[in-house]
């Protein structure tokens, strides 16, 4: 049984930890609010772009644009989105594990699987496991703007485009990230970025007399690269919001656990104190009896 | 009064405009074009310039740095990279951007990519400034 002093020291240490976790939770909540706002503002744009692309892809011949063509996946690329910082529960681990699974699957038929790591956690995870990197980005999530999504998106697209002729290119690109479902729920999503899979629309009939200006090809040339940038932008925002919500939940439960621990330790401290007092009384009484 | 149709201008950072309008003029890649209601389905990239919107509530002008226009029978979607209402253009910021871009263009020896980016930035800043009339 630890001494009273030890228990008290332990209590104050747990209290300190609890203060930190509580502060982190509040910071995460504030950041989450901002991230969520950004995400909601970007949603109409990416949703509409997706609708437009889906329509376009449904109307056009799959062979008419390189970004729509499917080739044998010899060189696979994966964009893995994690966070720079930890203490967010299973947030990073879930993504990394899912990515590892996809890597293992792809390696069965592909010659190589290479990574584009966004966030320090994913980079560290795969560096320790001898992952091959094309590029990695650390610190980018602190200052999210559309420009960063554009630079990564166009880099990925270029790699895919050179994949037709060069070994250094990519034949298939996946996106792996945490989707923000709600403030308390995140879901790991694996999506194929390239080649673009046209989402087959339902019964709806598309007008065939669509006018493309200057030409169908030119419109596709313009829209499809944009699609990559916007997809990345959306994914960065989703992941960012999901990160903060995961951290908030993790810190909330850490704070609660600390509370439980403090309660238990306080009980122990009280018992120890009571025991000490009883002991002292006993000593006094025995002493008095001996004198009498 | 002219028939109205729905216009929506969205950007990656939010919805810039949503409402019923009577006439829209937009800078298509092949030149400026106007859209009235019941336009035939039409899709084109946009270049940098001004989007002029006429609605029953009045006229509005947006500065855009490009995007995509998707016209359906009674619905007009503009997916713009940026779109700012004239009165919301941050003149100081645009001026600062212009100076920065010019400075970068002067420092010769920069890589080709950077020159391209600086030129694009300069064009964007000039577009905003000329529309804002400053």
Question: Structural domain boundaries of chain A?
Answer: 4-21+251-291, 27-250
SS3 B26: strand
What integer pLDDT is reported at residue A182 of this predicted model? Answer: 86
B108 falls in which pLDDT band (50, 70, 90)?
A: low
What integer pLDDT is reported at residue A203 of this predicted model? Answer: 45
Any CB–CB contact under 8 A between A155 and chain B?
A: no
Distance CA A177, CA A188 (A): 6
> Domain B91-132 classified CATH 1.20.5?
yes
Any CB–CB contact under 8 A between A226 and chain B?
A: yes
What is the sign of the dihedral through the CA atoms of A47, A53, A57 and A63?
A: negative
**Where are the CATH 1.20.5 domain residues in chain B?**
91-132
> Exposed, middle or buried by CB within 10 Å (0-12, 13-18, 19+), for B65?
buried
* Positions in chain A short of pLDDT 50: 203
Output the CA torsion A79→A111→A168→A121 (10° steps). Answer: 30
Contact B52, B22 (CB under 8 A): no
Answer whether the bond into residue A196 is a cis peptide, omega within 30°: no
Q: Do the Cβ atoms of A209 and B68 come within 8 Å?
A: no
Q: Which two tokens stand for residue B2?
A: 């002219």
pLDDT at B63 over 80: yes
Contact B65, B82 (CB under 8 A): yes
> In the Cβ-directed half-sphere of A234, how many Cα atoms lie within 13 Å?
22
Any CB–CB contact under 8 A between B68 and chain A?
A: yes
Q: Do the Cβ atoms of A211 and B77 come within 8 Å?
A: no
Q: State the average pLDDT over residues B116-127.
A: 77
Nearest to A76 by CA among A205, A241, A243, A192: A192
Distance CA A261, CA A165 (A): 61
Q: State the average pLDDT over residues B21-28.
A: 91
Q: Which two tokens stand for residue B116?
A: 């391209």
What integer pLDDT is reported at residue A205 of this predicted model? Answer: 54
Nearest by CB to residue B13, choosing from A48, A146, A214, is A146
Window B:35-54, CB contacts with A under 8 Å:
40-45
Give the gap in angstroms from C-alpha A49 to the nearest C-alpha of chain B: 7
Contact A52, A198 (CB under 8 A): no
Chain A residues inside the 8 Å CB shell of B79? 45, 48-49, 52, 226
CATH number, span B5-86 = 2.60.15.10
CATH number, span A27-250 = 3.40.1380.10
Vertex A198 angle, CA B67 and A54, to 5°? 40
User: How many Å is the maximal CA-CA distance in chain B?
Assistant: 58
Q: What is the pLDDT of residues B86-100, one digit of tens each?
A: 777 777 888 888 888
Nearest by CB to residue A52, choosing from B11, B12, B68, is B68
Chain A residues inside the 8 Å CB shell of B81? 146
**Where are the CATH 2.60.15.10 domain residues in chain B?**
5-86
Any CB–CB contact under 8 A between B31 and chain A?
A: no
Distance CA B132, CA B134 (A): 6
User: What's phi and psi for B74, nearest 5 deg?
Assistant: -130, 35
Quote the strand ranges of chain A, DSSP E. Answer: 75-81, 112-118, 132-137, 172-182, 185-194, 211-212
């Amino acid at each position: 049984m630890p001494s009273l002093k030890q228990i008290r020291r332990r209590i104050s240490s747990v209290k300190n930890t609890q203060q930190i976790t509580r502060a982190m939770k509040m910071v995460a909540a504030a950041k989450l609010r901002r991230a969520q706002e950004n995400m909601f503002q970007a949603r109409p744009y990416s949703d509409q772009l997706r609708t437009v692309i889906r329509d376009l892809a449904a109307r056009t011949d799959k062979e008419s644009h390189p970004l729509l063509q499917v080739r044998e996946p010899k060189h696979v690329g994966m964009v893995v989105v994690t966070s720079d910082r930890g203490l967010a529960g299973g947030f990073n681990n879930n993504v990394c594990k899912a990515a590892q699974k996809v890597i293992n699957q792809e390696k069965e038929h592909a010659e190589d699987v290479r990574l584009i790591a966004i966030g320090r956690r994913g980079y560290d995870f795969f560096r320790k496991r001898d992952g091959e990197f094309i590029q990695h980005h650390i610190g980018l999530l602190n200052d999210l703007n559309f420009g960063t999504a554009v630079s990564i998106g166009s880099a990925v697209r270029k790699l895919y485009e050179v994949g037709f002729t060069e070994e250094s290119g990519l034949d298939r690109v996946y996106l792996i990230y945490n989707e923000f479902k709600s403030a308390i729920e995140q879901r790991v999503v694996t999506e194929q970025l390239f080649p673009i899979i046209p989402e087959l629309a339902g019964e709806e009939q598309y007008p065939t007399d669509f006018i493309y200006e200057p030409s169908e090809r030119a419109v596709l040339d313009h829209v499809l690269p944009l699609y990559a940038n916007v997809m990345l932008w959306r994914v960065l925002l989703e992941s960012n919001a999901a990160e903060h919500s995961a951290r908030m939940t993790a810190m909330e439960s850490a704070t609660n656990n600390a509370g439980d621990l403090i309660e238990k330790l306080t009980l122990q401290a009280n018992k120890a104190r009571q025991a000490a007092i009883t002991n002292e009384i006993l000593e006094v009484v025995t002493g008095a009896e001996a004198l009498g | 009064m002219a028939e109205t149709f729905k216009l929506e201008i969205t950007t990656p950072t939010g919805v810039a405009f949503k409402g019923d309008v009577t006439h829209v003029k937009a800078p298509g890649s092949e030149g400026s074009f106007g859209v009235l209601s019941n336009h035939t389905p039409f899709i084109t990239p946009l270049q940098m310039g001004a989007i002029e919107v006429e609605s029953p509530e009045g006229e509005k002008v947006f500065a855009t740095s490009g995007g995509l226009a998707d016209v359906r029978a009674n619905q007009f979607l503009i997916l713009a990279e940026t779109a700012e209402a004239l009165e919301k253009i941050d003149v100081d910021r645009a001026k600062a951007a212009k100076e920065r871009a010019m400075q970068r263009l002067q420092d010769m020896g920069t890589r080709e990519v950077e020159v391209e980016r600086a030129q694009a930035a300069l064009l964007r800043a000039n577009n905003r400034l000329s529309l804002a009339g400053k």
